[in-house]
Amino acid sequence: MEISLKNISQVIQKNILPVALGFSVLIGWEVLVEYFEVPPYLLPGPVLMFKTLWSDRLLLGSALWVTLKITFFSFCLATLIGVLLSFLLVQSKQIERALLPYAVLLQVTPIVAVAPLIIIWVKDTTLSLVICASLVALFPIISNTTLGLKSIDPDLMNYFKLNKAKRLQILFRLRIPSALPYFFGGLRISSGLALIGAVVAEFVAGTGGTGSGLAYQILQAGFQLNIPRMFAALLLISLSGIFLYSTMAWISKTALKDWHSSESSGDES
Amino acid sequence: MASSTSPITEAKSNAIEVLSAAKTYAGGVKALLPVDLKVERGEFVTLLGPSGCGKSTLLKMIAGITQPSEGKVVLGRRETLPSSIKSNHPLDDQEQSNYSEPKLSFVFQSPTLMPWANVHKNVRLPLDLAGVPKEIADLQVGQVLETVGLTDFANALPRTLSGGMQMRVSIARGLVTKPDLLLMDEPFGALDEITRHKLDEELLALWEKNKFTVLFVTHSIHEAVFLSTRIIMMAARPGRVTEQFFVPEPYPRGSDFLVSNGFMQYAQRVQASLLKASV
């Protein structure tokens, strides 16, 4: 009981500053908008933004659902492909040498430039958006997981070899656990990138007249000068990003907190 | 008391035979000139020398982690041939050999534990890798943890243990397979003096009880004299064996041996030799 109370007070102490800062900014924003009588088509105040969020909740809610769905599928696809490619990359130096330049190429080519092509090529809009977003989210998974699979304590590797460990034993008992902290780092970056990829791809598709996600709503609201709705949609995108990042951070912390220094509090050791 | 010629021993009683094994790295750097060394079963031999004298290289060659560039290493009946006449995949010789091999355990300079696994699972690792059934393995791990005094910490993760305790886990992992030959690469080098001495004493007690062969690398004269039946002195640039000393003192050796005149005399001789080797 005492411990849980202590934990709660710790959580409050940890979060009180960012929350207080957020509230002050919102209040300051509202006061300034009211004081200078800024018209809502230039800059709506937060009260109007939340009001619009409520009144347009059905429209924005379904748009949010579409965007989250694309983000989720592309994140899963990127994770799956990224992990498989990483396993392939660490099999031999030759494979790595052959594949890595193309992985980098994938990373440095702007998705905005590739998205129109993919949207033309792939008939199904959702699928084309998922492909675009996956391309954006893929690289951090590949680079982090590959690095992780290679970052093995050389003496521990020698120990496994001395004990005549088989390839699969080395993979499951040594390589994969060693790679986990790096893999989770990759997930954290990629979750945000999948959202960015989904939004960017929706923008491209939206300019072509198709789409139903949050980016499309932002575009439409822009055309109609419905700036409060634009802000409401933007707020939803930011909240989604924060939610995704915190979920990944939580998963990483839960999986690693016991043994990895990146996730355990300093006073433990 | 001290002798600088190799004793001629019966081949069949040798745990280790190093036959003119040398190590030259790519680029021509001579890490180790040809070494001839025989270690009898049940001996406690220490490799002592300054940094860069090749003592760890020699130990790793004996373990099969590194292959000799020339000469060979025979463990019991197992042979490690020069890398030039075999595939460069390490430890292949074990599969090629038809002979039964001695059970070998290697204890590294750092504890080299799996940070994600608790003490029990870390110690069980060699048994798991060998495919020993879990019930039998757990029983053996329980016994060895009791021997090294870690029973209460079976569920602890390595990072929650002190350096000395982590090293103890590493030794327990080395002992759990009941090895014939224990190779130790400066295992207590990173520990404080008191912990180091305590672990030295514990190691000696285990050695006396279990009668395995130990080849122990250290750069501490006191540790070498305290532990060994024989000290092999090595020199650097290029790495080579220069001399050997026998320490024919009875076991068990306790703290009183450390402060005896005999101990001081051995230490002085070894120190003089070490200084000569360091020039």
What confidence tens digit (pLDDT) does each residue in B44-59 have? 999 998 888 888 899 9
Q: Kindly identify which residue of chain A lies nearest to residue B179, measuring between CA atoms.
A: A163
Which amino acid, residue B56? S
Query: Do residue A259 and residue B125 have CB atoms under 8 angstroms apart?
Result: no
By the 8 A CB rule, do B113 and B161 touch? no
What confidence tens digit (pLDDT) does each residue in A160-190 have? 998 889 988 998 999 999 999 999 999 999 9
**CB-based contact, B128 to chain A, within 8 Å:** yes
By the 8 A CB rule, do A158 and A174 touch? no
Pick from B65, B114, B129: CB nearest A165: B129
User: Cβ contacts (< 8 Å) between A163 and chain B: which residues?
Assistant: 125-126, 129-130
**CB-based contact, B131 to chain A, within 8 Å:** no
User: Cβ contacts (< 8 Å) between B117 and chain A: which residues?
Assistant: 177
> Where do the domains of chain A lie?
1-36, 43-256
Q: Kindly identify which residue of chain A lies nearest to residue B113, measuring between CA atoms.
A: A156
**Each residue of B62-97: b (16+ CB within 10 Å) or e?**
bbbbbbbbebbbbbbebbbbbeeeeeeeebebeeee
ipTM of predicted complex = 0.80
What confidence tens digit (pLDDT) does each residue in B200-251 have? 988 898 899 888 999 999 989 999 999 999 999 998 888 889 889 999 988 8
What confidence tens digit (pLDDT) does each residue in A127-149 have? 999 999 999 999 999 999 999 99
Residue A236 has pLDDT above 70, yes or no: yes
Best mutation target among B66, B92, B114 (most A Cβ atoms within 10 Å) is B114
User: Cβ contacts (< 8 Å) between A258 and chain B: which residues?
Assistant: 116, 157
pTM of the model: 0.79
What confidence tens digit (pLDDT) does each residue in A21-73 have? 999 999 999 999 999 998 988 899 999 999 999 999 999 999 999 999 999 99
Pick from A153, A164, A264: CB nearest B91: A164
CATH architecture for the domain at A43-256: Orthogonal Bundle (1.10)
Pick from B65, B114, B116: CB nearest A162: B65
- Domains observed in chain B: 15-102+180-278 (3.40.50.300)
